[in-house]
Amino acid sequence: MTPAEIPADPARFPEQAASFALSGPAGKLETVADVAERAAARRGTAVICHPNPAQGGTMHNKVVTMVERSLRELGLDTVRFNFRGTGASEGSYDHGAGEGDDLAAVVAWVRRVRPGDALWLAGFSFGAYVTLRNAAALRADALISIAPPAGRWPFEDIAPPACPWLVVMGEEDEVVEPQAVFDWIDGLERRPELVRMPETGHFFHRRLMDLRGAIKHAVHDWLPPPRG
């Protein structure tokens, strides 16, 4: 797709849930925006990233949608998108590097249409790696990492973000070694708030509502002011 063929980005944040395409560095990015209830709305927007597309991850993953629901119930508007080569997003899988560029393009749009909003980043598994790797450069105001894949991806050179940061980890994760995550956190100069969920695997089967509660409880004090 040539630049002239890439659809123009929406000029404003939608007033209700909407699907659309954003222009990304490898072509269009399939995107969904959801809007918090007006009475609860806060001056913040959360961008949420999905698991590894090479292993079937998409923005419709149940953990991703539960994170989205949790943050929207707290009053944040939300944006999910499919990384390059996933769903209707163009391009091809790039092992985390190009996916970081995709995230930057989505964040640039959010900042353009919501210049006064706090920017929150959240990610699950591979999405946690991508958001963590780019949180400092994108000047995130808060970061949520669900099952960050320490030990599976190169975390050693990633500087912890200066913003408030939550990590939620299942103690029986069968994909990401829990102890590798706990050891990585123990070695950080700036440690996140850590929620360890017992009897919980990587995909939080039968524990999604517990995940929702853990997120809402942990980040409540970080919320930006009401949208007014």
Domain spans, the chain: 3-222
Amino acid at 136: A
Cβ contacts of residue 112 below 8 Å, gap of 6+?
A: 9
Q: How confident is the model at residue 182 (pLDDT cuts 50, 70, 90)?
A: very high
Average pLDDT, the chain: 95
Cβ contact 70:216 at 8 Å: yes
Is the per-residue pLDDT at 5 higher than 80?
A: no
Q: How confident is the model at residue 157 (pLDDT cuts 50, 70, 90)?
A: confident
Question: Per-residue pLDDT averaged across 80-92, rounded?
Answer: 98
For residue 2, the tally of other CB atoms under 10 A from its CB is 6
Q: How far apart, in whole angstroms, are the C-alpha atoms of residue 51 and residue 58?
A: 6
DSSP code of 173?
-
According to the model, what pLDDT value does residue 160 have? Answer: 87
Question: Per-residue pLDDT averaged across 200-216, rounded?
Answer: 98
Cβ contact 131:139 at 8 Å: no
Question: Per-residue pLDDT averaged across 130-152, rounded?
Answer: 97
Question: Per-residue pLDDT averaged across 109-135, rounded?
Answer: 98
Which superfamily does 3-222 belong to? Alpha/Beta hydrolase fold, catalytic domain (3.40.50.1820)
Strands 44-49 and 118-124: parallel
Q: How far apart, in whole angstroms, are the C-alpha atoms of residue 221 and residue 9?
A: 33
Q: How far apart, in whole angstroms, are the C-alpha atoms of residue 126 and residue 148?
A: 7
